[in-house]
Amino acid sequence: MPRIDPAVVVHKLYVDPTFQPIKQKKRLFNDEKNQAIREEVQTLLKAGAIRELKFPNWIANVVLVKKPNNK
């Protein structure tokens, strides 16, 4: 994110390299939830907070949490 120290916002996972990653099954969401996911991802991409990475053997599903304004 612009003007924020990366030490504050960088997320790192310290995983033991001897453990094998577990691929989750892809979750299917209804149209309303898919639209909310798309909108939030686009917002984060435009802000530069996230970037696309391609992992051919790894998937982590989205976890939806309602905001205080019920959005």
Residue 41 tokens read as 């991802």
In angstroms, rounded to a whole number, what is the distance separating the alpha carbons of residues 68 and 39?
A: 18
pLDDT given for residue 29 in this prediction? 92
The SS3 of residue 33 is helix
pLDDT (tens place) for every residue of the chain, 71 residues total: 567 777 777 777 788 889 887 777 888 999 999 999 999 999 999 998 888 887 766 667 888 888 888 77
pLDDT given for residue 35 in this prediction? 94
Dihedral, 14, 20, 21, 23 alpha carbons, nearest 10: -170
pLDDT given for residue 34 in this prediction? 93
pLDDT given for residue 30 in this prediction? 93
